[in-house]
A = this chain, B = another copy of it.
């Protein structure tokens, strides 16, 4: 369990760095080929509702999404900074290691102003086999029900 803790903390640090540095082309590589990536709200998640702001169930869909962003980004010039808590390792089952990690994302506007953009938790299934940890599932549960629908960058 302590190994899983360290491996997932390191995976999360790489994941956040990839997005915050704008290296989005590398982002799909954090996922297994068949995967689940979803951005939803705490309210929908608690109610078991299916509605999601973003939904992808393969790495190929994530690649598509990132390509689309490449162009959109020209219009949106602000940066993000993810700060993640330590992972809470829930346990292991046939799918992989289940873990949850809190996040806060601050947004830095072009004029230098910084505010809290989003907060929530990642609900993950992580494949730790082999040297390279991968996300089989990452459900991004946002605390706020008001998610920016122009959400440009992945969370």
> B-contacting residues of A (Cβ < 8 Å)?
2-3, 5-7, 9-10, 12-14, 16-17, 20, 42, 79, 81-89, 100-104, 106, 108, 111-121, 143-146
A17-B81 in contact (CB<8A): no
Quickly give the copy total for this chain.
Answer: 3
A86 to B86, CA, bound (A): 8
Complex contacts, A5 vs chain B, CB 8 Å: 6, 9-10
B116-A42 in contact (CB<8A): no
Q: How far is the CB of A18 from chain B (nearest CB, A)?
A: 9
Leading 5 A-B pairs by shortest Cβ distance? A112-B146, A81-B119, A13-B86, A108-B143, A112-B144
A148 to B121, CA, bound (A): 25
Partner of A102, one of B20, B116, B117, B143: B20
